[in-house]
Amino acid sequence: MLDTEPDLSKRLFSHIDFTNGAVAAVSGGSDSTALLLLLKQHLDRTAPATKLLAVTIDHGLRSGSAAEAQAVAQLCATHAIEHRTLTWSGHKPSTGLPAAAREARYRLLAEAAQAQGIGLILTGHTADDQAETVLMRQVRTERLARDADRGHAETAGRGHAEMAGRGLAGMAPATLYDWRNWIVRPLLGMRRAALRDVLRRQNVGWVDDPTNADEAFERPRMRAALADRNGVRRVDDALALAAHEGNARRQLGLAAADLIRDLATQPAVGLIRLDPGFLNAGDERAAVYALRILLATTGGIALLPDRARSEALFARLKAGFLCATLSRTVVDSRRAGIFLRREARGLPPAAVASGDILWDGRRGITLNDSSGALLIAPFGAAAKRQAIGEGKTPPSLMRAALAAEPALWQAVECLGLPEDSQAPDMAEARPVVAPFAHFLPSFDLAPARAVAGLIGAAPVPALPFSGHSAGR
């Protein structure tokens, strides 16, 4: 049952930790305006010293957007709330505009939060938004399934597998952005009509963005379709589906995380070993999911590999020893275990080392040397000259993995890994959990933590929910 009480602030926000303040994303629409005022009410009552910053993103796509941002600023001044307007400047793509605008919005919100030392961003996504998201993904899934039935399996398979297994969970209650800022959606249990009732009782108006009714875009088309007499039932069904799929995704992630912690090791930099028992651990679905996450991490790929191909690879591994490649990752199955390493093809070319870079999707590297005399490039053949300690892992595998790792070079001399003592104070490097590095939904918190621990990535920042733990 969705909440429709007028005073919702305690129920909506009492479980959120506001110790380090909050950024509220406010467009001037009814949802975000209600979010801001209810949040202000909660903080005034429970923690009046809390830092609260309202941020409006002006995408510059409509002539009235600047005036709408000014109206939000005036509302914030009335309620003694600090406000910033940030503008999306630069190129606007002719296709994929909603996705590009969404990415720009999160980037600007994160920049505003970081500038204030705040790690928490709140958005006004509602139950209506959740239902629309799930139904849009369901329509795409059904369309892709029909394409597969007609023989277009190669083009349909990836999207169908991803949506069927993951996308129908909808938006997560919290999502970690760039491994730094938590984006929290406290209104996912609220209907838009109830929020508008709250604003009416407080005599507060809002802006209706005309693009929300522009049926040239997918979401407005779905919103219009839900306005018919069957809309209420379809919304309820979609929310029930999202709850079911979200719980299933969390449970699958917990099982995959257990397998990664128990059966995966990193015997050398860039090399992951799976114990042979991984193939017969009991929960094959969780094992395939763990394998997909490790493949994407090893290969530096933001999207998990196709589920059907991963299942086929898993079956081949169970059938006997092999060497195969999937998602830029070499899978080398031997008696000693199943080894994963980045393939040698498609590595970044040598480049002048400077500033902060994400190298090959796998390493975040910060260069502390501004002389311009250093290059960053793969180890390549220089890996053959590296001393490799004796152990259970074949030295040839360790050198092959090292060859695909980033090294600092000065002229033709290899100085070693950025974190090696051979290159003191020149650079800092950190592994990256590629499939979760940009967006980590709380559904996937458990496997992300497990992989971060495995490869030595930075720990996942704690969820901003007091007394709550999603995953382990």
pLDDT value at position 329?
A: 98
**Crossing angle (nearest 10°) for helices 65-78 and 30-46:** 20
pLDDT value at position 389?
A: 66
- Least Cα distance to 210 among 33, 74, 28, 26 occurs for 28
Strands of the sheet with 120-122, listed across from one edge? 82-87, 52-58, 22-25, 120-122, 181-184, 174-177, 439-441
CA atoms in the 13 A half-sphere facing the CB of 17: 15
Question: How many Å apart are CA 407 and CA 136, to the nearest integer?
Answer: 44
- The residues, ordered by sequence, that sit 6+ positions from 255 with a Cβ below 8 Å of its Cβ are 283, 285, 286, 289
What are the chain's domains? 9-125+171-227 (3.40.50.620), 351-431 (no CATH)
Tokens 């909660």, residue located: 42
pLDDT value at position 151?
A: 60
Question: How many Å apart are CA 182 and CA 178, to the nearest integer?
Answer: 9
| DSSP character at residue 306 | P
| Tokens standing for residue 176 | 């970690």
pLDDT value at position 95?
A: 85
pLDDT value at position 426?
A: 73
The tens place of each residue's pLDDT in the chain, 472 residues long, gives: 344 444 688 999 999 999 999 999 999 999 999 999 999 999 999 999 999 999 999 988 888 889 999 999 999 999 999 999 999 988 888 888 888 999 999 999 999 999 999 999 999 999 999 999 998 888 887 777 676 666 654 444 454 445 444 789 999 999 999 999 999 999 999 999 999 999 999 999 999 876 666 666 777 788 777 877 787 888 899 999 999 999 999 999 999 999 999 999 999 999 999 999 999 988 999 999 999 999 999 999 999 999 999 999 999 999 998 999 999 999 999 999 999 999 999 999 988 877 788 999 999 998 876 666 788 899 998 888 776 766 778 889 999 999 999 988 887 888 888 776 455 567 788 999 999 999 999 999 999 999 999 999 999 999 999 765 444 5
- Reduced DSSP (H G I as helix, E B as strand, rest coil) percent helix, strand, coil of the chain, to 5: 45, 20, 35
Neighbours of 216 (CB within 10 A): 8
pTM of the predicted structure, to 2 decimals: 0.90
Question: How many Å apart are CA 355 and CA 400, to the nearest integer?
Answer: 28
Q: Which residue type, as a one-letter code, is found at position 422?
A: Q
Could you please report the per-residue DSSP string of 216-247? TSHHHHHHHHTTSTTHHHHHHHHHHHHHHHHH
